Amino acid sequence: MYLTGLECPRCKEKHAADRLQNLCHCGSPLLVRYDIGALARDIDRDDVLRGRDDMWRFSSFLPVPEDKIVSLGEGMTPLYSLDGFAGEIGMDCITIKDEGYNPTGTFKSRGASCGISMAAHLGAETVAMPTAGNAGGAWSAYAARAGLDCVIAMPEDAPEITMKECALYGAETYLVRGLISDAGRIIGTACERYGWFDVSTLKEPYRIEGKKTMGLELAMQLDWDVPDAVVYPAGGGVGLIGIWKALEELELAGWIGPERPRMIAVQSEGCAPLVRAFEDGRTDSDFWEGAETIAGGIRVPKALGDFLVLEALYDSGGRAVEVSDDEIMDVLLTLARTDGSFICPEAAAAVAGVKRMREEGDLTRDDEVMVINTGSGLKYADLLEADLPVLDKEDEINVTPEGE
Ligand SMILES: *Cc1c(COP(=O)(O)O)cnc(C)c1O
Ligand SMILES: [Zn+2]
């Protein structure tokens, strides 16, 4: 264990990591700090190659004592290239890191595994959170595994499967006629009233550590190198902050060099607070009124960690990009045909962002781009239509020969 404590990235105040913590007094999320120097002296980067077959192979970069890990085998997701699609948009190398392989079908499993492990370890009994859907499914599953009670509130138009997941795992689940921000207010009030532990995005410090493992893994999978750009569909932006933090810690440990990918955050035109802030050169974002997009996971009107996302974009020479819902749907359908890959609409936004940037000349043919497919398309069956011919038992298939 190399955990040393918690630190506020805004006012720099230090907080203890041996009790349940939410935000800093100043309202900022807290970040977890480690003795990376000691870690680097004890552990060789190639030791992790022989580690567990899930994200906990990086447990030295994580805050959970070995015997307190609550795991369903999350992480160590595969990389594969989108050759068909890349060729169509004039690029040589677009790689997907496919988080759809996680236990609950999205990368939210990583944050939930780490967050629930710590919540249970530090004595929480009931955890509560607002969600766009996928986080609810993941935290419900890990809460069930840890024996914690779980309360979830989600927009009533969240993907149906995510509602059923929460109910299935036994979480007390509420549907809200409103956005994730409305669900957040309801949960916040209930946490104050009932003493539940608020595990909203970034309101506890450990979800980001779980998501950080995406960055640790991708460097390892590239043989301790980094791509030219990491493209991420940003809602709260936790995954992006996590990947950025991972690369910083890996460099401190001497496991990678000082090179960094450009960090690219992609949002939908119907909810693009980070894009607006980036374009105005600001370090925080405004609440986005009337948020609307088919990519529910990135329908976040105001991110608590917006300043951390924007800092990573500026520091990495990256940027924020917005795409339309039509482009998102078009890319989702196209990728299935060109590459046999059924990604979630959020990741389709990210790939559409790559296409935009290539068209604008902001990416070159030989830029190595890694897109995080944050979840499996299989969780989004409600977005698709398939109008198929139906045969009677005695019917035959009559294919019309071409040209007739
Ligand atoms: C939650 C979610 C996102 C956004 O994740 P953040 O790290 O909060 O920005 C993107 N895609 C999917 C599928 C999600 O569930
Ligand atoms: Zn602070």
pLDDT score of 403: 67
Q: What is the pLDDT of residue 310?
A: 98
Q: Residue 116: enclosing H or E segment and its boundaries?
A: helix 108-121
* Cα of 30 from ligand 2 centre, angstroms: 8
C-alpha span between 33 and 399 (Å, rounded): 64
* φ, ψ at 302 (rounded to 5°): -155, 120
d(CA 35, CA 4): 6
Expressed in angstroms and rounded, the spacing between residue 224 Cα and the centre of ligand 2 is 33
For ligand 1, atom 5, the nearest C-alpha belongs to 235
Which residues have CB under 6 Å of ligand 1? 106, 108, 134-135, 201, 233-239, 297-298, 344, 346, 374-375
Q: Give me the amino acid identity at 160.
A: E
Sequence-distant (≥ 6) Cβ neighbours of residue 263 within 8 angstroms: 229, 230, 232, 240, 243, 244, 312, 313, 316, 318
Q: Which atom of ligand 1 approaches the CA of 379 most closely? A: 13
Q: Can you give the CATH number for the domain in which 302 is found? A: 3.40.50.1100
Sheet containing 197-198: order of strands: 172-176, 149-155, 126-130, 197-198
Amino acid identity for residue 381 in this structure: A
Contact residues for 244 (Cβ-Cβ < 8 A; gap 6+) = 215, 263, 312, 316
Distance CA 50, CA 191 (A): 42
Q: Is residue 192 part of a domain?
A: no
Nearest to 286 by CA among 265, 266, 272, 267: 272
Residue 210 lies in a domain: yes
Return the residue whose CA atom lies nearest to atom 4 of ligand 1.
235
State residue 401's pLDDT score.
79
Q: Ligand 1 center to residue 91 CA distance, Å?
A: 26
Count: domains in the chain: 1
Ligand minimally distant from the alpha carbon of residue 13: 2
pLDDT of 398 reads 87
pLDDT number for residue 404 = 59
Position 91 in a domain: yes
310 CA distance to ligand 2 middle (Å): 18
Q: What is the pTM of this model?
A: 0.96
Which atom of ligand 1 is nearest the CA belonging to 347? Answer: 11
Residue 350 lies in domain: 79-105+206-379
> Each residue of 226-255: pLDDT tens digit?
999 999 999 999 999 999 999 999 999 999
Decide: 263 and 231 in contact? Cβ < 8 Å.
no
Question: Residue 257 corresponds to which tokens in the numbers above?
Answer: 């060099």
**Does residue 364 form part of some domain?**
yes
Q: Decide the pairing of beta strands 31-34 and 3-7.
A: antiparallel
Residue 275: closest CA among 309, 248, 242:
309
Which atom of ligand 1 approaches the CA of 344 most closely?
13
Query: Which residue puts its alpha carbon closest to atom 3 of ligand 1?
Result: 297
- 39 in any annotated domain: no
Residue 148 inside a domain? The answer is no
Q: Average pLDDT across each block of 10 residues of the chain; the chain has 404 residues. List them in order.
A: 96 96 96 98 94 96 98 98 97 98 98 98 98 96 98 95 97 95 96 97 96 98 98 97 98 98 98 98 96 94 96 98 98 97 98 98 98 97 92 92 70
Closest ligand by atom to 134 CA: 1
Q: How far is the CA of 403 from the centre of ligand 1 (A)?
A: 46
Q: Is residue 142 part of a domain?
A: no
> From the CA of 46, how far away is ligand 1's center (Å)?
30
Q: How far is CA 103 from the centre of its chain?
A: 14
Ligand 1 probe mutation, 97, 99, 102, 107, most atoms within 8 A of CB: 107
Atom of ligand 1 nearest to the CA of 346: 11
Task: Give the closest ligand to the alpha carbon of residue 135.
Answer: 1
Answer yes or no: is 259 within a domain: yes
